[in-house]
Amino acid sequence: MAASTLTEVARLAGVSPATASRVLNGSARKPGPGVSERVRQAAEALGYIPNAQAQALAKSSSGLVGLIVHDIADPYFSAIARGVQDVAREQHKMVLLATTGGTPADEKEAVAAFAARRADAIVIAGSRSSRPEDAQGNAELAAELDRYCRNGGHVGVVGQAIVGAGPLDGYHLVEVPNEELAAELAAKLAASHPGDFVIIGGPEGLITSDDRVRGFQSGLAAAGRPAAEVLRASFNRAGGYDAGLALAERLRTAREAEPVNEGAQPGLCIFAANDVMAIGATAALRAEGFRIPRDALIAGFDDIETLRDFRPGLSTVRLPLEEIGRLATLSTVGSGPGATEGHHDDGPAVTGQVTLRRSTEWTA
């Protein structure tokens, strides 16, 4: 038994397919009440489910919104995904998921797949890359998005503009003030920590990471501090762990050089470009016998929900991730506020909040 079709329903109700269509999907023209009732009963009896593919084909609107993330299991992305999913639900749309690991080539492919499915909108979360080796991939991605927009699609980008994507109708940006917030974090940390700073950044060219690193540096500079050394590692927990091991080694030699003065304020404050890296670094330092915040201070970025109960409480910058997902989706798909018109709009303002917790709080 294949799924029953509109024609079958119409036949059972003794009407034409046109009429059946009219009653079953609220067209402009309302058939008479008697007919409507017959059709509805027939549909019920047959367990009729309209074929969304056919509907989409006929109306050329699919009710789909595509979501592109690096990794859905990453709490950063899953939080955004929740926001996207929320709005999609409100708007009676379904979300189509693609994970790309941040590879522009894969992202291009995902955009093409969404375009093929005639998704009404595409939301791209996850940092762009500005690495030279990604330049071509980015260009292709931009071209693909251009085409998608030109064909009437809407795209919402979280974070920063697609490198090379031109100002186009239907292209929306939810800007995250990574740089400013990182600067603010640096300023606050500089106020209470007189010692050195070290930054654990993601791979060079990952724009979100670069922005945060740059912001942190400029915050330090504004506070009259020397620039911090930057360690590069992969933008996840494992990367943080690796960097943490390196830092542990460094702490050890420093401790040997300058014999232990118990109770002294730790000489090092670490800033990791995101929370999971911070957690990884913390784990590494602990594994090497150091304690936070006794032996080193550490701060992250994002304020991942699952990590809020971490001990010591991780100093970080709270980002309204779910809201960011909501806004990005609304800007593309919504018709109400947030669906700002026009070229390459900057979308509604997102702001974060520096949140200092125990991990950077030195107490004698």
Partner DNA sequence: ATGCAGTGGGAACGCGCTTTCCCAACGCTC
Partner DNA sequence: GAGCGTTGGGAAAGCGCGTTCCCACTGCAT
Name the token pair of 217: 């540096």
Alpha carbons 178 and 302: distance in angstroms, whole number: 10
User: Which of the residues 38 through 77 are near DNA (CB under 7 A)?
Assistant: 48, 50-51, 54-55, 57-60
For DNA, give the closer residue by CB, 4 or 265.
4
Query: Residue 194 CA to chain centroid, in angstroms?
Result: 34
- Tell me if 52 contacts a second copy by CB under 8 A: yes
Nearer to DNA, 5 or 103 (CB): 5
Work out whether 140 is an interface residue with a second copy (CB under 8 A): no
The rounded distance, in Å, linking the Cα atoms of 152 and 338 is: 19
Contact flag: residue 71 with a second copy (CB under 8 A): yes
Q: Which of 21, 282, 332, 360 binds a second copy (CB under 8 A)?
A: 282
Q: Name the binder of 264 from a second copy, DNA, none, CB < 5-8 A by kind.
A: none
In the list 5, 8, 75, 105, the residue contacting a second copy (rule: CB under 8 A) is 75
For the residues of 236-265, what is the DSSP string, one character each? Answer: SHHHHHHHHHHHHHHHHHHHHHS---TTPP
Strand bridging mode 268-272 / 196-201: parallel
CA dihedral of residues 219, 225, 231, 232 (deg, nearest 10) = 30
Closest by CA to 170, choosing from 334, 332, 338, is 332
5 binds, among DNA, a second copy, none (CB under 5 to 8 A by kind): DNA
Contact 67, 299 (CB under 8 A): no
333 binds, among DNA, a second copy, none (CB under 5 to 8 A by kind): none
In the list 30, 150, 252, 343, the residue contacting a second copy (rule: CB under 8 A) is 150
Nearest to 198 by CA among 259, 132, 256, 254: 254
CA dihedral 47, 52, 53, 54 (to 10 degrees): 70
Distance of CA 290 to the CA centre of its chain: 33
The piece of 27-35, 156-164, 204-212, 303-311 that touches a second copy (CB under 8 A) is 303-311
Is 283 among the residues that bind a second copy (CB under 8 A)? yes
Which partner, DNA, a second copy, none, binds residue 112 by CB below 5 to 8 Å per kind? a second copy
Q: Is residue 105 at the binding interface for DNA, with CB under 7 A as the rule?
A: no
Q: Could you tell which of a second copy, DNA, none binds residue 254, using a CB distance below 5 to 8 A set by kind?
A: none
What DSSP string describes 118-165? Answer: T-SEEEE-S--B--GGGHHHHHHHHHHHHHHHHTT-EEEEEESPPTTP
- Interface residues with a second copy (CB under 8 A) are 1-3, 47, 49-54, 56-57, 62, 67, 71-75, 78-79, 81-82, 85, 89, 94-99, 112-113, 115-118, 147, 150-152, 237, 276, 279-280, 282-283, 286, 304-307, 309-311, 322
- Interface residues with DNA (CB under 7 A) are 2-3, 5-7, 14-19, 21-22, 24-25, 27, 29-32, 34-35, 48, 50-51, 54-55, 57-60
